Amino acid sequence: MKILTLVYAFLAVILFSFLGGFFDLPMPMISTLNFLTVFYFLAYPSVRLLWGSGDIEKIEKFLLKNKRNPFYQLSYGVANGSAKEVDEAVNKTNKSLTHFYNRKQYQLIQAIFTNALKKWKSC
């Protein structure tokens, strides 16, 4: 993430908070506006690229660039049918997760992917 993006988000939140206080807006409205601002600056570029884009090559480049992150590595492995990638990503993810049910969700994804891959290869 670029530092300049963080600076813009921080400045926008300060500006909206100041304007909300100056115009005596209710606190929930200011908080909602600040949340939407932070979402726009920080999360929207990734969300737009992954869900809003139909360009498969662009998405694949993004996933390859962020392959160190196990969540993106899992998506890349499932999309390309790579059992090695999926197993590696699930193992990395399970090491970082502390809640039992979160680990079970990723193990379930791994099991469903492995069974689907076996069925596909047998046909």
Answer whether 85's CB lies under 8 Å from 73's CB: yes
Residue 27 scores a pLDDT above 90? yes
- Mean pLDDT, the chain, as a whole number? 87
Give the global pTM: 0.58
pLDDT value, residue 49:
67
pLDDT one-digit tens code per residue, 57-97: 888 888 899 989 998 999 899 888 888 999 999 999 888 88
Residue 47 scores a pLDDT above 80? no
Q: How far apart are the first and last CA of the chain?
A: 43
Residue 13: closest CA among 48, 49, 39, 45: 39
% of the chain with per-residue pLDDT over 70: 95
**Neighbour-count burial of 51, counting CB atoms closer than 10 A to its CB (0-12 exposed, 13-18 middle, 19+ buried):** exposed
Please report, for the chain, the start and end positions of each structural domain, with discontinuous segments joined by +.
1-52, 55-123
pLDDT one-digit tens code per residue, 91-113: 998 888 888 888 888 888 888 88
